[in-house]
Amino acid sequence: MTAEAATRVVNADSTAISEAATCLARGGLVAFPTETVYGLGADATDGPAVARLYAAKGRPAFNPLIAHVADLEAARALAMFDKNADRLAAAFWPGPLTLVLPKALGCPVADLATAGLDSVAVRIPAHPVALAILKAFGRPVVAPSANRSGHVSPTHASHVVADLAGLIDLVVDGGSTAVGLESTIVACLGAPTLLRPGGLAREAIEDLLGTNLGVAPETSDDPLAPGMLPSHYAPRATLRLGAQDVQPGEALLAFGPTLPPGAARATAMLSLSRSGDLVEAAANLFSHLRAMDILGATSIAVMPIPSAGLGEAINDRLQRAAAPR
Ligand code: TXA
Ligand code: MG
């Protein structure tokens, strides 16, 4: 939507639930209550919708997002559960626990929403409104806290409106959220590890598993800047950023309608956006980097990307992918 368009605020009744599902299906942005904080939802399988979500939050960083689902069957379509994950899900879902798990084969979550990682964060929220929207929509919904970047997480619909009015399509008002803290995040990618303390106490998790949780090096609101993760996706190929031409042997990652000199000899070519649209470019970024590997590119000339709007985060991720390793 455009910045001038109105944001509708509706009471969480059955009409609002179906309006939310319809809006998500059209690629819209819908804020809704969970038991922890209000989330800003987008269709997790719709890359451009996810890109617009980052843009609405402001200062977009492409931190990986939590995919919310209505039930365990839907969660298993996204991720692979080991024994610990099975036990945690059985004990604490629906509830304020997010599990970071290896992506399942054919996981439909857009690459942008997982920041190109091979893992995905999954949660079944324990809020009747959230669950009703997820059931009505029938696909996973990515939802960061529904605040502008750098602001505190919203626990009331009025907080969402204060931060995001005019930037999102719909706010489903379900009153105050009960927990008021974001979910606890545990990675089950090996020994279970606490990535973010939150609404579910660490002791409850450790008691259930009968073991202490490992702790990630940093614990803050965004504990693992995805670019810092050792597993963060970087292509095998080397990247040459801001390229004004294509050198022999290079593949081309293009942007915009005009191709640079030498484009015809590129060993492979993909465009982030032929029209120069940063939302489209963001949605394509991680999947195109992956595709370059599949195409066998060994060095990639990347055309300059403007730094406005989502361009800042796109350039940040490209710089990380280009860093020596
Ligand atoms: O309670 C909550 O969790 C709320 C409600 C709306 O569900 N959501 C929320 O989302 O707090 P957000 O985007 O503010 O925080 C998600 C956190 C980020 O710190 C992100 O780095 C981490 O989850 N995360 C997501 N996917 C990850 C992954 N694959 N590996 C490591 N961390 C991940
Ligand atoms: Mg947040």
78 lines ligand 1 (CB under 6 A): no
CA of 177 to the centre of ligand 1 (A): 17
Per-residue confidence (pLDDT) for residue 2, from 0 to 100: 45
Q: Which of 65, 93, 124, 186 best tests ligand 1's pocket when mutated (most atoms within 8 Å of CB)?
A: 65
Residues 258, 110 share a domain: no
Residues 273, 154 share a domain: no
Task: Say how far apart CA 110 and CA 106 lie, in whole Å.
Answer: 11
Ligand lying closest to the C-alpha of residue 185? 1
Q: How many domains does the chain have?
A: 2
Atom of ligand 1 nearest to the CA of 39: 6
Residues 134, 68 share a domain: yes
Per-residue confidence (pLDDT) for residue 11, from 0 to 100: 97
205 lines ligand 1 (CB under 6 A): no
Per-residue confidence (pLDDT) for residue 220, from 0 to 100: 40
Residues 186, 41 share a domain: yes
182 lines ligand 1 (CB under 6 A): yes
Phi, psi of 17 (to 5 degrees): -60, -45
Residues 200, 78 share a domain: yes
Residue 226 lies in a domain: no
Only one residue has tokens 């993760």, namely 229
Per-residue confidence (pLDDT) for residue 314, from 0 to 100: 86
Per-residue confidence (pLDDT) for residue 232, from 0 to 100: 47
Asked, as a colleague might, if the bond just before 94 is cis with ω within 30 of 0, I would say: yes
Q: In which domain, by residue range, is 251 found?
A: 238-322
Global pTM reads 0.86
Task: Say how far apart CA 133 and CA 239 lie, in whole Å.
Answer: 41
Per-residue confidence (pLDDT) for residue 230, from 0 to 100: 38
Residues 73, 180 share a domain: yes
111 lines ligand 1 (CB under 6 A): no
Per-residue confidence (pLDDT) for residue 226, from 0 to 100: 46
CA of 90 to the centre of ligand 2 (A): 25
Residue 233 lies in a domain: no
CA of 154 to the centre of ligand 1 (A): 15
Atom of ligand 1 nearest to the CA of 65: 25
Per-residue confidence (pLDDT) for residue 245, from 0 to 100: 98
Instruction: For residue 60, give the CATH number of its domain.
Output: 3.90.870.10
- Kindly give, in sequence order, each residue whose CB lies less than 8 Å from that of residue 112, ignoring residues fewer than 6 positions away: 47, 50, 51, 54, 62, 282, 283, 285, 286, 287
Atom of ligand 1 nearest to the CA of 119: 29
Per-residue confidence (pLDDT) for residue 319, from 0 to 100: 87
Q: Evaluate whether 118 touches 27 at the Cβ level (below 8 Å).
A: no
The CA distances from residue 184 to 95, 198, 204, 210, 316, in Å, are: 10, 4, 11, 18, 27
CA of 31 to the centre of ligand 2 (A): 13
Ligand lying closest to the C-alpha of residue 163? 2
Residue 53 lies in a domain: yes
CA of 143 to the centre of ligand 1 (A): 8
Boundary of a domain, candidates 184, 215, 246: 215
Residues 251, 200 share a domain: no
Q: Is 145 left (phi over 0), alpha (psi -120 to 50) or beta?
A: beta
Full pLDDT tens readout for the chain, 325 residues: 444 469 999 999 999 999 999 999 999 999 999 999 999 999 999 999 999 999 999 877 788 999 999 999 999 999 999 999 999 999 999 999 999 999 999 999 999 999 989 999 999 999 999 999 999 999 999 999 999 887 888 989 998 999 999 999 999 999 999 888 899 999 999 999 999 888 888 889 999 999 999 987 654 444 444 434 433 457 889 999 999 999 999 999 999 999 999 999 999 999 999 999 998 998 888 889 878 988 999 999 999 999 888 888 888 888 888 887 6
Atom of ligand 1 nearest to the CA of 224: 21
120 lines ligand 1 (CB under 6 A): yes
- CA-proximal residue: ligand 1, atom 10 (nearest): 144
